[in-house]
Structure 1
Amino acid sequence: MLGRDVSPATFKGTIADMETSVGVSTYAAQYSPGELPKEVKIEGKTYKTDEWMNTPSSILDAIPRRLHLQPDHPLTITRKLIESRFPGYKTHNNLFPIVTTGQNFDSLGFPLDHIGRSRTDTYYLNKETVLRTHTSAHQADTFRNNESEGYLISADVYRRDAIDRSHYPVFHQMEGARTWDRQQAEKEGKNLAYIIWEDVEKIPKHDIAVEDPNPTYHAERNPLQTGHSPEAVEAIAAHLKRSLEDMVVTIFNAAKSASDAETSGEPLKVRWVEAYFPFTSPSWELEVFWQGDWLEVLGCGIVSQPILNNASVPNRIGWAFGLGLERIAMLLYSIPDIRLFWSKDERFLLQFSEQKSISPFVPFSKYPECFKDVSFWLRGGSSAAGTPIASAAPVPTSTPSFHENDVMEIAREICGDLVEDVRLVDEFVHPKTGRRSMCYRINYRSLERTLTNKETNELHERLRTTIVARLGVELR
């Protein structure tokens, strides 16, 4: 998606994310030799596994949840609010999350050595099958099917990631696109730009302040694509910006009505910022002035023509945008921790209803946090974060480099949502031995109850033991 809400910039540039080389780690902190299942069954479908398998059962268990489809869930309400601003667009909300590497990477032109293909960042079932990392995995197929001039895709997506209040390995994206048929306009003897400008006039107008100081395109900063006329791009950009401004006005007016009096009195204003995304050009980010700061909401741009050409619709031209549903919902409802979206606690769920106006989330009592450190020496010769290698299709080895996401994955596996935050607090290299030491601070805190000392001690000991067993490090 163009612009991601609560995730790293690993995939920045895909239509689903416009918010180093491949490295591998031993079974990605979930499986060790002899433990790897030969196959996994997901909602009735069976997938063979191989040495690329790194998807833990906790992630597979999340697939049936489909939070964005649950009635009265804040993600569902947010999704429907956005969809309401795009009448006539075909919605795709229940696309299966298991896709091929061709769909997830190749169809979007990901280089073979892109870090996004790494097992340190992506959940694999086997070398050619992954859990989608963005809704754009379905983009080429959606363009190819050509069922409507505009579409919206909302879906759960999966990435190995950090642990904190705004990151979760499963999150939800929405992307949208609108295209026009250049050949059909020619057949009808109509000017394409004129047709698009007519469509622009159908979009509701607003009265908020908009800052847009830059030209629609710039030869160096934000260039036109080959084969795109300036007139058509001016019209498409106007349609894109008017459409997204209308959506943002709707969202943030709802958020203002749910916020306190001081914030609700603040005039809403937006601004367009030039951006770079590999798969759109020209490209922009839309920012909203909210609670005293400029906040990036989404990324967008004119769709890269090769993507449309490769999807067998070379005559079409248009725009696309992408955003993170959690990010928008957290703003709408003042939800402070992304883990809450997965809560089954009625104290959370009963605060939301599609039949009621939006109101801010009322937190439970803040339960106490408990900090514990785990320090270890990396194996001799290991480097932190993962070692780039030249092969485009590496096979996991028995002596991998250390990658931080492996620690995060172990913490999620052992502790689940009882961990609020994991962060590196110290790192140094011994001056004599050259060995590297890492120290991670684990913040244990439940969203629903107070953890006992016995619980946190037992969890932490299991965490320490598993880190040694899986990563081959030496505790300090």
Structure 2
Amino acid sequence: MLKCCRQVFLPHLRLLSTQTPSPNLQASTIEIGNHVFQKDDWSNVTPKILSYIKSEKHLQKHHPLSIIRKRIVEYFYNTYKNNRGTPLFSVYDQVSPVVSVHQNFDNLLIPAGHPSRAKSDCYYINKHYLLRAHTTAHQIEMIKSGLDNYIIVGEVYRRDEIDSTHYPVFHQLDAVRLIGKEKLFGNFLDLEIFENDFKSNPQKIQTIISNSKCIDQSKQPCHTLEAVKLTEHELKSVLVGLTQHLFGDNIEYRWVDTCFPFTQPSWELEIYHKGDWMEVLGCGIMRNEILLNSGVSNSIGFAFGLGLERLAMILFDIPDIRLFWSNDSGFLTQFNEEDNRPNKYKAISTFPQCSNDLSFWLPEGVEIDNFSPNDFYDIARGIGGDMIEQITLVDKFKHPKTGKSSLCFRIVYRHMEKTLTQAEVNETHGKIAKVVSESFNVVIR
């Protein structure tokens, strides 16, 4: 049986009330659970996105996302135990998705002006709060509470394109492990985690780190090479084992060097799937500044994060990310968390697509590059919901005489549970056109 901790030892990580977001939001406020937030110029979260809060598909019995979550947790429970057989990792899977900008970015050393902070990428409640873009946002609070080994799972929210592999809400699992000197080196007490220069002059090394956009992939200046290599070996061995646990011992994999603001060195793990390499997780040695800011000065840490939907789509052969939000019994009854070998998804929707184009002139003086497609996607998603399968920007045009710019989006409609009539599609399409026209002051072509 899985032993999941939720709010224990985490006074800063408040669970949201089971109360769903109010549909009658006042114009100047946004209500989430029992909390009311003042809107400002940064507010861009929509009622549709707020409706996903507390869905908790990752905790729904027999749901593919819950099956993946349980298998990962079980693997870590079995891999890391103390001498009494008690799992070292604790699990937190109901932490509020509302975080501060400081938590989501500053705590993780994501610099001001970084593209991931943009309104076009995130769902902001106001300039101070947003729906978390990654579960890594809780890292400092977790470590400050005294945790050395933990897993956190929950929904994350990102403004993105609309197609079979992208959805504005998905589920992420993050894990952190901190390792002290004795745990890392055993009886080799002459070895050290930190370089002598760092121990004697930490401010100098910290300045070098802070001025580096992407530190040398070999190691951070503060760490000894021995400490990094031993931690890297443990990290990669554990994650390869996890990958084989999920996909079988014969899965082809490879490591790719990369760069994240909050880990260095950093890697992505890719597997060979359907004739191509696919990333399944990102990981690395935690930036020492994060540990210092969490009150930890004597350890080295590693962290990794992965998306549950991506793994579930591979493991269960699920072709469309919208299916994870389906309540259709034809989908949900295909999976059973007690099965040792996962069932492959059998298509429940053979319903035809309906495709409509929507073209419009941008207001005079507005350039194409200044229009965010994600703003358009949010309106379409809010009106059409999951009957929209995909949206593609198919044409950009600037009139040679008037200088006005035009965009054309192709919206593909297909319901997962019934055949759509053209009349239904036309009605929804017309509503989208009307709201887009009113919201962006565009002229429908």
Q: Normalization by structure 2: what TM-score?
A: 0.83
Asked if the contact 1:183–1:315 (Cα under 8 Å) also holds between the matched residues in 2, the reply is: no
Give the aligned partner of residue 117 of structure 1. Answer: 117
Shift of 1:365: 3.6
Gaps of 5+ in 1: 1-34, 195-218, 257-266, 387-401
Q: Deviations over 1:300-346 (max 9, x none)?
A: 11111111111221222121111111000000100000000000111
2:367 match: secondary structure? coil
Gaps of 5+ in 2: 1-24, 78-87, 194-213
Please give the alpha-carbon distance, in whole angstroms, between the structure 1 residues aligned to 2:119 and 2:277. 34
Of 425, 432, 435, 2:394 maps to: 425
Give the aligned partner of residue 361 of structure 1. Answer: 345
Aligned partner letter, 1:231: E
Asked whether 1:225 is paired with 2:257, we answer no
Q: Normalization by structure 1: what TM-score?
A: 0.78
Asked whether 1:453 is paired with 2:422, we answer yes
Asked whether 1:52 is paired with 2:45, we answer no
Q: Deviations over 1:112-165 (max 9, x none)?
A: 222222222211222111111111110111122222x32111110011111111
Asked whether 1:287 is paired with 2:270, we answer yes
Please give the alpha-carbon distance, in whole angstroms, between the structure 2 residues aligned to 1:455 and 1:463. 13
Aligned partner letter, 2:420: L
Q: Deviations over 1:34-79 (max 9, x none)?
A: x962323322222232332211111111102011111111101001
Aligned partner letter, 2:94: N
Aligned partner letter, 1:359: N
Number of aligned residue pairs:
390
Shift of 1:193: 7.4
Asked if the contact 1:36–1:53 (Cα under 8 Å) also holds between the matched residues in 2, the reply is: no
Please give the alpha-carbon distance, in whole angstroms, between the structure 1 residues aligned to 2:47 and 2:367. 28
What is the percent sequence identity of the aligned residues?
A: 43
Asked whether 1:40 is paired with 2:26, we answer no
Q: Deviations over 1:333-389 (max 9, x none)?
A: 000000000001111111111112311011114110011001111112212344xxx
Q: Relative to structure 1, is the Cα distance of residues 360 and 301 closer, same or farther in structure 2, using a 3 angstrom cutoff?
A: same
Of 371, 374, 377, 2:358 maps to: 374
Please give the alpha-carbon distance, in whole angstroms, between the structure 2 residues aligned to 1:311 and 1:303. 12
Give the aligned partner of residue 438 of structure 1. Answer: 407
Please give the alpha-carbon distance, in whole angstroms, between the structure 2 residues aligned to 1:334 and 1:417. 20
Q: Relative to structure 1, is the Cα distance of residues 77 and 185 closer, same or farther in structure 2, using a 3 angstrom cutoff?
A: closer
Give the aligned partner of residue 242 of structure 2. Answer: 247
1:136 match: secondary structure? helix
How do 1:118-267 residues align onto structure 2 when only pairs under 5 Å count?
118-147=118-147, 149-182=148-181, 190=189, 222-253=217-248, 267=250
Aligned partner letter, 1:329: A
Please give the alpha-carbon distance, in whole angstroms, between the structure 2 residues aligned to 1:140 and 1:428. 47
Please give the alpha-carbon distance, in whole angstroms, between the structure 2 residues aligned to 1:238 and 1:187. 15
Asked whether 1:273 is paired with 2:256, we answer yes
Please give the alpha-carbon distance, in whole angstroms, between the structure 2 residues aligned to 1:252 and 1:379. 51
Q: Relative to structure 1, is the Cα distance of residues 145 and 183 closer, same or farther in structure 2, using a 3 angstrom cutoff?
A: farther
1:225 match: secondary structure? coil
Please give the alpha-carbon distance, in whole angstroms, between the structure 2 residues aligned to 1:443 and 1:40. 31
Asked if the contact 2:64–2:312 (Cα under 8 Å) also holds between the matched residues in 1, the reply is: yes
Q: Relative to structure 1, is the Cα distance of residues 321 and 185 closer, same or farther in structure 2, using a 3 angstrom cutoff?
A: closer
Please give the alpha-carbon distance, in whole angstroms, between the structure 1 residues aligned to 2:215 and 2:115. 27
Q: Deviations over 1:53-109 (max 9, x none)?
A: 211111111102011111111101001111111122111111101111111111112
Shift of 1:461: 0.6
How do 1:290-305 residues align onto structure 2 when only pairs under 5 Å count?
290-305=273-288
Q: Deviations over 1:452-476 (max 9, x none)?
A: 1110010011111111000111111
Tell me which of the two structures has the higher relative contact order, counting C-alpha pairs closer than 8 angstroms and 6 or more residues apart: 1
Moved over 3 A (4+): 182-194
Give the aligned partner of residue 200 of structure 1. Answer: none
- Bigger drift between 451-460 and 137-146 goes to 137-146
Q: Relative to structure 1, is the Cα distance of residues 234 and 161 closer, same or farther in structure 2, using a 3 angstrom cutoff?
A: same
Asked if the contact 2:192–2:224 (Cα under 8 Å) also holds between the matched residues in 1, the reply is: no
Please give the alpha-carbon distance, in whole angstroms, between the structure 2 residues aligned to 1:354 and 1:186. 39
Give the aligned partner of residue 346 of structure 1. Answer: 329
- Bigger drift between 68-77 and 176-185 goes to 176-185
Give the aligned partner of residue 51 of structure 2. Answer: 61
Give the aligned partner of residue 333 of structure 1. Answer: 316
1:50 match: secondary structure? coil
Please give the alpha-carbon distance, in whole angstroms, between the structure 1 residues aligned to 2:238 and 2:226. 19
Please give the alpha-carbon distance, in whole angstroms, between the structure 2 residues aligned to 1:58 and 1:237. 41
Aligned partner letter, 1:419: I
Q: Deviations over 1:372-421 (max 9, x none)?
A: 001111112212344xxxxxxxxxxxxxxx21111100110110001000
Please give the alpha-carbon distance, in whole angstroms, between the structure 2 residues aligned to 1:46 and 1:220. 41
Shift of 1:185: 7.7
Asked if the contact 1:185–1:192 (Cα under 8 Å) also holds between the matched residues in 2, the reply is: no
RMSD: 2.2
1:160 match: secondary structure? coil
Q: Deviations over 1:151-196 (max 9, x none)?
A: 11111001111111111111011111211124888999835679xx
